[in-house]
Amino acid sequence: MGQIFYGRKAQVQIVSMILLTGITIAAVSGALWWGLPMLDKSKSNSEITQAVSIMQEIKKATDEVSMSGGSRVVNLNLNGEMVIEGASMEKQADGSIKVNVRPDRKNSVTYTIITSGVASATGLWIPLDGFNPISQGMYSGGNGDDVVLPITPISNTCVISNLCTLIDVDIDCDIDNSMDRIGAVAGTYLNSEYKIEYIDCTAGSEYVTIVGPEKPITGFSGVNNAGVIVVKTVPHGDKYKVMFKLVYRELDDLEDVNGKGNLVQITKKGNTLAGASDSSTHKTSLTITGLDRFVESTQDAEKTGGPLTVTPVTMSFGS
């Protein structure tokens, strides 16, 4: 079984490396095809190209460690903030190790920079190399509009008012009043899952966008890449916040009689936050370490319901 698993991972890796080659060429040329035209090419393109290069380097090291084990150290010059989101490992009484895969399947490294020169912002996660691995609801409206947030068990209808009195908004919800906000700005959380992503105060077309929880979309072995880099841009004052996320998603095997799933799982150790949001340069390192064996997961394969085999990859920031 182990040989079959490695074989499938190798096939996915080959496809991933071919895609990365094409993306690297696009990044160097300044095209970065997700559809955000640049105004200040000399500065913004340099910042974004550097960010893409950082994320590709982390992905390459993570792929190598998940395939071959061992450890890699990636030296980083960060002009923003980088955060690791992953699971934890626990040693069982019998000496075995289990990975506590998060129910929300968050399994990523996110790098956020603040830059100028972006002419428009999508607010959506757009993949740089492959099929989009993230599902996230977006809900927009103008002054006086109702926005229906699909919260279990009953959807919450929220009324938008006083939009752009400054660069803020009032939110009044009919079911869960704890989500009500007065004078809320972009980045304000309505609860643990929903937040105000951005507010556009362009005269005549004012609107606010609320985003829901992120969830990685499970793929299939031999079809999808396990690791994918995605990017999202939202307004940030007179500049823009550009978020790059390296996501590792579960790949389920439709051909396996037991419905097995495979997951390269980021596990956290020590520091999980590096850099700062002030755009100054911070030097640090990211240590990526693999385990010499597969381990069991506390969750079943999401699509097939079979056993979920995990390849843990531990990440930690240094000094």
Domain boundaries, the chain: 2-133+220-317, 134-216
Task: Reply yes or no on whether the pLDDT at 13 is more than 80.
Answer: no
Residues 213, 193: contact at Cβ < 8 Å? yes
Read off the pLDDT of residues 251-293 as tens digits, 9 standing for 90 and up: 999 888 888 899 999 988 888 899 877 767 889 999 999 886 7
Rounded to an integer, what is the distance from CA 185 to the centroid of its chain? 22
Q: What is the pLDDT of residues 209-219, one digit of tens each?
A: 999 988 888 98
Residues 130, 113: Cα–Cα separation, whole Å: 23
Decide if pLDDT at 29 tops 50. no
pLDDT in tens, 142-186: 999 999 999 877 889 999 999 999 999 999 999 889 999 999 998
Does the structure show a pLDDT above 50 at 119? no
pTM for the model: 0.77
Question: Distance between CA atoms of 171 and 46, rounded to whole angstroms?
Answer: 38
